[in-house]
């Protein structure tokens, strides 16, 4: 197994450096625009592009070579990783780019973006570039968020990597109006038909007729069309189902 040498350091990253047993030599620094940090006793060090382990070894060697300490023990970790970001777009409260902050998973990322809006779908797409490939981001995973059981959803615990993009879709809806008991807008379900729409809308009212139903739907040109419907007809996102009064 390949040895892990920690995260890669970039410009703007916050480095938390600990020299064990020597609190005066420990430091909390930000990598400058030239990829350089300045540390106690040893001065300037170029760290851009190096792993946190390599930076720790570099600092320890300088302390020992300068005869400041014998066999110093140094640890380096990244606090806020400005040089590497992830993005959250779509139906979240605060869409945008965010710096990597330690180990984040999908739920953490959505939380940093302020959570989902009331219009959010229960699905989130994770877009990620293939490792080593110089190409546009490719969709590698589509996760269904079920809030009632999200603690058991391993995909929501998936680690966020630098340059990942999360896209939260808008909830798909249909409308039911006319002679139903609960007219309004409702979220789409799988395999929706007119019968299910009527059930969601509370059923046909006493004045309504299940044989006098029409669907208003936009065609491929965006024009609104009206078509008669029966209870087995398929309902699509954006459809408006209207139940008319019975004819006495």
Phi, psi of 222 (to 5 degrees): 85, 5
Phi, psi of 15 (to 5 degrees): -110, 130
Query: What residues contact 229, with CB distance under 8 A and at least 6 apart?
Result: 194, 213, 214, 215, 241
Angle of CA points 206, 173, 145, to nearest 5°: 125
- Which tokens is 49 given? 């592009």
Domain boundary among 170, 202, 232: 170
What is the secondary structure of 88-149 as a DSSP string?
A: EEESBSS-EEEEE-SS-BHHHHHHHTT-B-TTEEEEEEEEEPPTT--S--EEEEEEE--GGG
Clarify whether residues 99 and 162 are in a common domain.
yes
Clarify whether residues 67 and 124 are in a common domain.
no
Query: Is residue 189 situated within a structural domain?
Result: yes
Query: Is residue 1 situated within a structural domain?
Result: no
Phi, psi of 161 (to 5 degrees): -110, 160
Clarify whether residues 165 and 195 are in a common domain.
no
pLDDT of residue 3: 41
pLDDT of residue 1: 31
Query: Is residue 224 situated within a structural domain?
Result: yes
Clarify whether residues 71 and 110 are in a common domain.
no
Is beta strand 120-128 parallel, antiparallel or unpaired with respect to 184-187?
A: unpaired
**What is the SS3 assignment for 236?**
coil
Domain boundary among 48, 78, 108: 78
CATH of the domain at 64: 3.30.1950.10
Query: Is residue 165 situated within a structural domain?
Result: yes
Domain boundary among 59, 78, 97: 78
Indicate the number of domains in the chain: 3
- Which tokens is 9 given? 């350091």
Query: Is residue 20 situated within a structural domain?
Result: yes
Clarify whether residues 134 and 87 are in a common domain.
yes
Clarify whether residues 221 and 238 are in a common domain.
yes
**How close are the terminal C-alpha atoms of the chain, in Å?**
80
pLDDT of residue 186: 93
Range of the domain at 239: 173-245
51/23 Cα distance (integer angstroms) = 22
Clarify whether residues 98 and 165 are in a common domain.
yes
pLDDT, one tens digit for every residue, the chain (248 residues): 334 467 788 888 899 999 999 999 999 999 998 999 999 999 999 999 899 999 999 999 999 999 999 999 999 999 887 778 899 999 999 999 888 877 889 999 999 999 999 888 877 888 887 655 554 545 455 666 665 555 557 778 888 988 889 999 888 999 999 999 999 999 998 889 999 999 999 999 999 999 999 999 999 888 999 999 999 999 999 999 999 998 86
Any idea which residue has 């009331």 for tokens?
118
Clarify whether residues 124 and 145 are in a common domain.
yes
84/52 Cα distance (integer angstroms) = 14
Query: Is residue 5 situated within a structural domain?
Result: no
CB 136 within 8 A of CB 155: no
Clarify whether residues 118 and 182 are in a common domain.
no
Query: Is residue 92 situated within a structural domain?
Result: yes
């Amino acid at each position: 197994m390949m040895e892990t040498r920690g995260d890669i350091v970039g410009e703007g990253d916050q480095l938390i450096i600990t020299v064990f047993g020597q609190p005066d030599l420990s430091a909390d620094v930000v990598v400058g625009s030239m990829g350089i940090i300045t540390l106690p006793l040893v001065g300037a060090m170029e760290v851009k592009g190096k792993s946190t382990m390599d930076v720790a070894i570099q600092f320890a060697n300088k302390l020992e070579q300068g005869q400041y300490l014998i066999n110093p023990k140094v640890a380096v970790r990244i606090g806020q990783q400005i040089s590497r970001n992830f993005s959250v777009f779509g139906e979240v409260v605060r869409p945008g780019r965010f710096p990597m902050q330690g180990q984040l998973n999908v739920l953490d990322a959505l939380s940093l973006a302020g959570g989902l809006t009331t219009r959010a779908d229960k699905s989130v797409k994770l877009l990620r570039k293939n490792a080593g490939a110089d190409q546009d981001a490719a969709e590698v995973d589509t996760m269904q968020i079920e809030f009632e059981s999200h603690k058991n959803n391993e995909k929501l615990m998936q680690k966020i990597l630098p340059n990942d993009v999360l896209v939260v879709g808008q909830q798909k809806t249909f409308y039911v109006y006319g002679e139903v008991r609960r007219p309004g807008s409702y979220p789409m379900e799988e395999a929706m038909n007119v019968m299910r729409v009527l059930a969601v809308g509370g059923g046909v009212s006493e004045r309504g007729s299940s044989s006098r139903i029409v669907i208003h739907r936009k065609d491929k040109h965006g024009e609104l069309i009206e078509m008669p419907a029966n209870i087995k007809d398929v309902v699509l996102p954006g459809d408006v189902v209207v139940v008319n009064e019975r004819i006495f």
